[in-house]
Each structure stands twice: as structure tokens, then as C-alpha cells.
Amino acid sequence: MKKALAFDIGGTKIYSTIIDETGKIVGEIDKFSTPKTLDGIKDILKTQVQKYEKEVDVIAIATAGAVNNENTAVIGSTGNLVEGYYTIEFPKLSAKRVFIENDANAAAWAEYKIGASRGTDVSVMLTLGTGVGGGIIINNKLLKGKSGAAGEMHFKMYPDKRRKCTCGSYDCFEIYASGTALKLDAEEALNDKNVTTYDVIDGVKNGDKKMIEILNRWQRDIMIGIKGLANLFDPDCVVLSGSMAQFVDVKKIEEEVNADIVTSPTSIRLATAGNYSGMIGAALLALAKEGV
Amino acid sequence: MKKALAFDIGGTKIYSTIIDETGKIVGEIDKFSTPKTLDGIKDILKTQVQKYEKEVDVIAIATAGAVNNENTAVIGSTGNLVEGYYTIEFPKLSAKRVFIENDANAAAWAEYKIGASRGTDVSVMLTLGTGVGGGIIINNKLLKGKSGAAGEMHFKMYPDKRRKCTCGSYDCFEIYASGTALKLDAEEALNDKNVTTYDVIDGVKNGDKKMIEILNRWQRDIMIGIKGLANLFDPDCVVLSGSMAQFVDVKKIEEEVNADIVTSPTSIRLATAGNYSGMIGAALLALAKEGV
């Protein structure tokens, strides 16, 4: 059976493991803190490649940042990674084929092949974490756009500049639907810079009405964003993944979205492909040569 | 050369003509007021089909409303047409093949084949008229979604219910970017229910500062919507068509969109395929059997 050496390169951690063509993890999970230097990142990649490349058919990398349509390079800067990250020449890491894809796209592909959106034609995945990632699949293809950067969840929630987004612009969905957004919602509601998302979640568990209100406002904004996406893409389902997805009332959002959708009712689901879905998706894309 | 008998069925007018496989109009343009009854609409279609079907290879219909993925039926209700419109069995109109497509999708296809988005891989078209239509083309295919209804420009401009949209929901892009929206902007700014879009346009021509402000607010909202679409689809271009497009400062919107885009710069263009682009696009889709 064919296998991939898979990486997940994020702002805080780099993971690597070996994954077979069915999406099964068949190696150890190696874990590193993401170095603050370009050479540090390259060293980890080189070391892991040297160690494992003989065992595999392809190197499959899920990475933060937009990836070009040739799946060979990161394009532009990525807020969470060291400056110049996009200069890494991934294909030179190994004599074997090196395939890279955006982490949210890769995770969406894993959900589509072995997870929550299996069997659908059109799906939208939202990764709700510190930020918000997006991966959209249309008839067995990832939506990539002209440069590879499509699926950015930076449509506007207000037109009149209220909250600055991490991207430098204002009022993007990301800054109302992420974990960071929940903290900002709480800061605004309580007029307290030190409140955390944990405070909100704990408060909700203890029945604190103010905290429930804050969580509801955050969920409303997620719902409003999904409603727009559902009207644009008419998807079979919207999959929610990432560390913040567990705090979302999926059934309630589904009801509210479908209450006044103009396309046709959609299904909202939690992701099921697990924490390593980025690596799994990248491996499946690289091994099957479909989807991109 | 192959030819289509083409129709454009809208809320106020029905047009028909004959179009060849290059997109050229080769017949008379017949024009009817859209009847208020189902039988009235059917009668026009039947009469025109009987008159012209011998001259053509296919019947190609651009229609208001969402069209199924088989291009045989309208799905659900369309606000602008008589109740029960979706019950029309279009394939029974002729022994020849009858192909139908949503009017905005068909017009987007005409722009892609012979107009402003020719030669692009990914394009978004917005039809700014009384309402707002959308047609999205990704790698030589119209974006249709699971049921055929994708491309609805009903993503939200505010999350907290300010302005009711014609779709029954609140704060959709359509109700901030349409001709109707410009009138509502003016009503709000001037506290005058009787102000018209013509008043605004005339005022702007005469240098009226208040009217310029109103037009600028409307243009800002269009720009904000396009920015979100550009981040989602990473398109080569966004094409503006419809009767209201002429009042948009395309260059200014392009600059503002690209000033803080997170994907990669896009081009904003006025449509060039003309007033009959819906019929042309439907004919080209029907004759070439591509795109859908």
C-alpha cells in the first residue's frame, strides 16, 4: 500500500507522521514547537524527510498559508509563521514528490474522504480555532481560485469598520467567529481586557447568564456567516472543525440557517476526521492525485 | 451553423430571439410584457416555439429563479414571477431539446464566452438591477451547488437585523447593492419615502453633496460585498452588469477592494456582452453542452 510522510506546519506546532492511502496513520506522531527562524523550520523538515523518505512514496505537507495551484509553494506571507516562510522551496526537500496544500483545505479533504462530508458533492468546512480557516469542495475538487488562495473567510460582518481583523482589514467573519472573537465579544460585553475564552466557557457551564449571552452572540455571528455561505455555495453540508467547534450548538445553528435560506436546506455537522485531519487530507490528496 | 431559439423570462418582460453557436443574434427580438398568469406565460412560450422551432436545434431559456442541475425545471418560488411558475414543464414545450438556466448564470456565461470575463479561469458576475443576481464560473463550469441554486447574493452585511430583504431575511447583500437599495439609502438619509434612484443620479450629476454621499454609501456597500467574494473565490475578475452597473465607479471599487484583499488582487469590470446576455449565455450553454 502506498504511503506518505505527512507534515502539519502551524504557527505553534509542527507535526509529522506516516499515513497510508486509506488515510490511516501508520507511523509515530512526531511533534515539534514551530521554530521562530526559517532555518529552524527547514531543519525539522530536512531531518524528518531524511529519516523517513525511504519508507514512503510521497511527502505531503499541510501548511498554514495559501498554497499555489501547482501545490509546490506557499504564496505571500502567513501571519502566524516566520517572515520569508514562503521562500521555502518545498520540492527540493526530497528526491521524491513533495506536495503541499493549505491546512484548512487539506483538513476539508480529509472530512470529504473519510469524515463528516463523505459522499457529498458540495461542502464547506470552517476550522474554528484561534483564527478561522476555510476549505470548500465542489464536485470532487478543492476550490482554489486563480492563485490558490480561495476559501479565505474574510467576508465582512459589518460594512462600517468596527473591529480590526488579524488580516489588517476590518470586520471579517474570522474576527467574529474565531476563539479570538469570543474573547473580544467578552471583553466588549464585560469591559474587561483580561477575560478569557475559558472564563466564558466556564461561566456558561455554571449557568452564568452574562456568559451565556456572550456565547450566544458569538454563535449568532457564526450562524450569520454560515447562512451567507449556504446561499452562495448551496452546499450539502457545512462542517465545523477546530478547537472552538465543540462550543457551538450545531443543531441550533442548522435550524436558524435553514429558517430563511434562499437556496435549499443544508446540514451543519461537526468534523469527525480527528486532530490530524490536515496531515490525513494532505496525504490523501498527494497519493491519489485528485482534488487539486 | 447550429442555432437556438432563446428566451429571457423576467418579472416584467419576456424576450425571445434566435442565436447561433457563436453567440450572434440572428433573429428578430420579440418582446412581451410578462403575463400575470401561468397560462399567459405558457401561451407566449408555446406560440414562439411553434413559430420558430423548425429553424433551430435547441430551445434555450434564461429565466428568473433557481434552475435544477439537470437544466429542466425551476426549483422553488421566484419572487418576481407568478405563483406556481416552477410547475411549468419546460421540456414538454418542444420535441427538440429544451434547456433552461438561471438568468444571472446565463448572463455570466455570455460574459465568459464573448464578453468581459473571456479567457479567465474564475469569475464572479453581479447583476445590479432592481435586485442583485449572481453567476460564478470556476474552471469552465458554472457554480450550481447541490440543488442548482448556488450564487445567491444573500450573504449578510450586518448580523443584527437592520433592513429586511426581498427574500424575507435581513441585511442580505442584495438589499444593500441593488437599485432598490439605493432608493432605501436615499429614503433613510433624506427621511423621504418618495425619493427615487433617479433623484439620486440626477443629484449626483448636478453636484448635490447629499446625493453624492448617498451614492457613495451604496458604492461602499457594493465594494464591501465584492471584497468578501474576492476573498472567498480568489477570482480573476468580478464583472458588473445590469441597469445599475453604469452608476458604479469601477476603478475606485477595484482600488478599494485590492487595498486590503487577503487572496490576490482582482480586476473589476463592466459587462460587455450587452442587454441580451441572458439569452446569449443560455444559447451558448445549450448548444455547446459545456459549463453545466
Residues 40-59 of chain A whose Cβ lies under 8 A from any Cβ of chain B: none
Could you tell me where the beta strands, DSSP code E, fall in A26-79? 30-33, 58-63, 66-67, 74-75
Shortest alpha-carbon distance between residue B149 and chain A (Å): 5
What's the pLDDT band for B77 if we cut at 50, 70, 90?
confident
- What is the reported pLDDT for B17? 98
Rounded to the nearest angstrom, the minimum Cα separation between B146 and chain A is 6
**Interface contact A176-B168, CB threshold 8 A:** no
A100-132 b/e with 16+ CB inside 10 Å = b?
bbbbbbbbbbbbbbbbbbeebbbbbbbbbbbbb
Q: How far apart are CA A104 and CA A101, in angstroms?
A: 8
Neighbours of A225 (CB within 10 A): 26
Q: What is the pLDDT of residue B292?
A: 79
B240 and A151 Cβ atoms separated by less than 8 Å? no
A288 at interface of B, judged by CB pairs closer than 8 A = no
Rounded alpha-carbon distances, angstroms, from residue B57 to A129, B22, B62: 54, 14, 16
What pLDDT, on a 0 to 100 scale, did the predictor assign at position A290? 79
pLDDT at A258 over 80: yes
Q: Which amino acid is at B20?
A: D
Q: Does A73 touch chain B (CB under 8 A)?
A: no
State which amino acid sits at residue B231.
Answer: N
Q: What is the pLDDT of residue B290?
A: 79
Percent of chain B with pLDDT over 70: 100
Quick check: A148 contacting B, CB < 8 Å?
yes
pLDDT, residue B80, reads: 79
Vertex A59, ends A58 and A63: CA angle to 5°?
145
Find chain A residues with C-beta within 8 A of B233's C-beta. 143, 145, 150
In contact, A237 and A269? CB cutoff 8 Å: yes
Sheet-wide strand order for A122-128: A141-142, A132-138, A122-128, A237-241, A267-270
List CB contacts (< 8 A) between B120 and chain A: 146
| Residue A79 reports pLDDT greater than 80 | no
Q: CB under 8 Å to A253, separation ≥6 — which residues?
A: A219, A222, A223, A226, A268
B73 reaches A (C-beta below 8 A): no
Residue A5 one-letter amino acid:
L
pLDDT tens, A147-168? 999 999 999 999 999 999 989 9
> CB-based contact (8 Å) between A208 and chain B?
no
Q: Do B122 and A138 touch (CB under 8 A)?
A: no
Q: Give the separation between CA B122 and CA A149, rounded to whole angstroms.
A: 12
Instruction: Give the tens place of pLDDT for each residue, B85-119.
Output: 999 999 999 999 999 999 999 999 999 999 999 99
Asked if A149 is an interface residue toward chain B (Cβ–Cβ < 8 A), one would say yes
Measure the CA–CA gap between B87 and B19, rounded to whole angstroms.
Answer: 27
**Which pLDDT value is given to residue B289?**
76
Task: Determine the pLDDT at residue A164.
Answer: 96
Q: What nine digits make up the cell of A58?
A: 510521497
User: How far apart, in whole angstroms, are the C-alpha atoms of residue B37 and residue A231?
Assistant: 29
pLDDT per position as a tens digit, A202-245: 999 999 999 999 999 999 999 999 999 999 999 999 999 999 99
What is the residue-averaged pLDDT of chain A? 96
Judge whether residue B257 has pLDDT over 90.
yes
Beta-carbon separation of A145 and B225 below 8 A: no
How high is the mean pLDDT of chain B?
96
Alpha-carbon A63 to chain mean position: 10
Comparing B167 with A52, which gets the higher pLDDT? A52
pLDDT at A289 over 80: no
Burial of B181-216, coded b for 16+ CB within 10 Å and e otherwise, reads bbbbbbeeebeeeebebebbbebbeeeeeebebbbe
The count of residues in chain A is 292
| pLDDT, tens digit, 9 for 90 and up, residues B124-159 | 999 999 999 999 999 999 999 999 999 999 999 999
Does the pLDDT value for residue B270 go beyond 80?
yes
| Nearest Cα residue to B73 out of B57, B52, B88, B54 | B88
The answer to whether the Cβ–Cβ distance between A143 and B225 falls below 8 Å is no
d(CA B142, CA B100): 13
With CB atoms and an 8 Å threshold, state whether A262 touches B156.
Answer: no
pLDDT value at position B256?
98
Judge whether B88 is closer than 8 Å to chain A, CB to CB.
no
Kindly state the average pLDDT of the residues A12-34.
97
pLDDT at A291 over 90: no
Mean pLDDT to the nearest integer, B46-58: 97
Q: Does A166 touch chain B (CB under 8 A)?
A: no
The answer, yes or no, to whether residue A91 has pLDDT greater than 80, is yes
Is the CB of A157 inside 8 Å of chain B's CB atoms? yes
Are A222 and A132 spatial neighbours (Cβ–Cβ below 8 Å)? no
Are A7 and A278 spatial neighbours (Cβ–Cβ below 8 Å)?
Answer: no
B 213-272 residues with CB < 8 A to A: 220-221, 224-225, 227-229, 231-236, 260, 262-264, 266
Q: How far is the C-alpha of B263 from the C-alpha of A172, rounded, in Å?
A: 13
Report the pLDDT value the prediction gives residue B190, as an integer from 0 to 100: 98
Q: Do A158 and B158 count as a contact with CB atoms less than 8 A apart?
A: yes
pLDDT at A50: 97
